[in-house]
């Protein structure tokens, strides 16, 4: 048994070798909070900080729930100047410019410009303008997973943060439901 112990310790790492979903949900979704440098111009406004949330997984199954990779924010986010995603080789997957947060019309649907469905991890860069004029550049990684596909590392599922967990104010609420359980069977 002593001779097999090193191999047994490596099994969890070998099990995901060459799997396109190995890095899925390894990193948390993007949650950012920025203090506004100027008070709100509207004296009745209570916005003193800008909140931003980007999930770390897209699970497209045409349910309408998590079918788009979208940027969420509160009233402190004036505009998304650019939102770009790239695969591990640096190939552009999507680019959206000059839009407002919380708009699924400016969310990526998981298809490449060539019309094929992308599956696996990708990186993104986001440039936002706050209502006080500040510009912030943020980077993150996420995963595109078609519900029902095989190979998703179940141990990472608890780390996944979904569109459906957006609380409506630019933050994640982990008590809200994520993907349907049948998605990861």
The whole-model pTM stands at: 0.85
For residue 17 the two structure tokens come to: 């070798």
Query: What is the per-residue pLDDT across 50-75, written as a single tens digit (0 to 9) for each?
Result: 999 999 999 988 877 898 999 999 99
89, pLDDT greater than 50 = yes
44, pLDDT greater than 70 = no
Per-residue confidence at 4, pLDDT binned at 50, 70, 90? very low
SS3 content of the chain, % helix, strand, coil (to 5): 15, 35, 55
Predicted pLDDT at 60 = 85
Predicted pLDDT at 7 = 42
Q: Which fold has domain 18-184?
A: Immunoglobulin-like (2.60.40)
Per-residue confidence at 17, pLDDT binned at 50, 70, 90? low
For residue 96 the two structure tokens come to: 């959206």
Of 86, 79, 82, 54, nearest to 69 by C-alpha is 54
Q: What ranges do the domains of the chain cover?
A: 18-184
What CA–CA distance (Å, rounded) separates 35 from 98? 22
Q: Which residue carries 């991890």 as its tokens?
A: 121
């Amino acid at each position: 048994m002593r001779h097999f112990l090193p191999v047994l310790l490596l099994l969890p790492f070998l099990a995901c070798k060459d799997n396109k979903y190995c890095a899925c949900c390894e990193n948390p979704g993007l949650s950012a909070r920025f203090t506004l440098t100027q008070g709100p111009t509207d004296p009745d406004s209570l916005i003193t900080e800008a909140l931003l949330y980007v999930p770390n997984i897209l699970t497209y199954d045409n349910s309408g729930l998590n079918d788009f990779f979208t940027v969420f924010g509160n009233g402190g986010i004036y505009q998304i100047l650019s939102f770009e995603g790239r695969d591990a080789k640096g190939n552009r997957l999507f680019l959206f410019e000059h839009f407002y947060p919380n708009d699924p019309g400016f969310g990526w649907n998981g298809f490449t410009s060539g019309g094929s469905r992308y599956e696996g991890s990708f990186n993104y860069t986001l440039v936002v303008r706050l209502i006080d004029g500040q510009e912030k550049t943020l980077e993150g990684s996420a995963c595109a997973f078609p519900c029902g596909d095989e190979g998703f590392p179940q141990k990472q599922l608890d780390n996944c943060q979904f569109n459906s967990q957006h609380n409506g104010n630019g933050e994640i609420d982990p008590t809200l439901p994520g993907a349907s359980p049948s998605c990861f069977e």
